[in-house]
Amino acid sequence: MRLAARPGERPACPLGACDGSGWILGPEDVARPCECRERRLARRRARGVASQIPPRYRGVSLDRPPLSDMARDPGRRAVYEVVKGFVDAVEERLDAGAGLWLMGDVGTGKTTLAMLVSKAALEAGRTVAIYSLPRLLARIRRTYEAGEAEDSYLAFFERLASVDLLHVDDLGAEKSSDWVLEQLYAIVDERYESQRSIVVTTNLQPDELERQIGPRTVSRLVEMCGDPLPLFGEDRRYRVA
């Protein structure tokens, strides 16, 4: 566990490569930037997006229920293994711009698995934005009435586009409109072009999602995330022990 720097102290390098200044002194006193410097700059750029794991999911772990139950469930084990592989190599996956598309019924563990990925990215020191689709669209709408001290649309869009991982829950949950289609495509396409990772969850089948958010956006998601990972079965939130 990393210890926070005391007030006035220089924060430690999370990579253990520099003295916390963000620079590495080489031969002949020539300094070169440490990798942690870019990560710190990225965190500053990301301020203003929701990046905290919700309290319900802060203890999520592969070796604790409900995720440990998935490892023993024949219907969900394959998806569990794919997500575990992503988490085990989260830095490499983020650097490659790889994503995940989790699809299935209510209560089958989609959001829990997605939160695990976001938690792993944050613990690796990477920048993450976490939104349900309705909340994300509401946040975008607020930028249209932003005051001087608030993010403009372009500033908020830049933050969404630049974080290492964008996590969107309940994709397809919002009533479709031309404005919604435009916003979703702009965000997904920008991250596609810049090869930045995205993790999405949805209750909809691919053909249903196409009708809801448009074929162009779904096509981009397939290229970024591969085929959807299906999680189906009973709603385990209401299972009686």
pLDDT by position in tens, the chain (length 241) = 444 455 555 567 777 777 777 667 666 556 677 776 666 655 555 565 667 899 999 999 999 999 999 999 888 899 999 999 999 999 999 999 999 999 998 888 999 999 999 999 999 989 999 999 999 999 999 988 876 656 789 989 998 999 999 999 999 988 889 999 999 999 999 999 999 999 999 999 999 999 999 999 999 999 999 999 999 765 555 443 3
Q: Residue 36 falls within a domain, yes or no?
A: yes
Tell me which H or E stretch contains 43: helix 35-46
Burial pattern 169-206, b for ≥16 Cβ within 10 A else e, equals bbbbbbeeeeebeebbbebbebbbeeebbbbbbbbbeb
Question: Are 32 and 60 within one domain?
Answer: no
- Residue 139 domain-assigned (yes or no): yes
Q: Which pTM value belongs to this model?
A: 0.78
**Non-local CB neighbours of 170 within 8 Å, separated by 6+ positions:** 132, 133, 134, 201, 202, 203
22/63 same-domain check: no
Q: How many domains is the chain built from?
A: 2
- Would you say residue 4 lies in a domain? no
Residue 119 shares a structural domain with residue 221 = yes
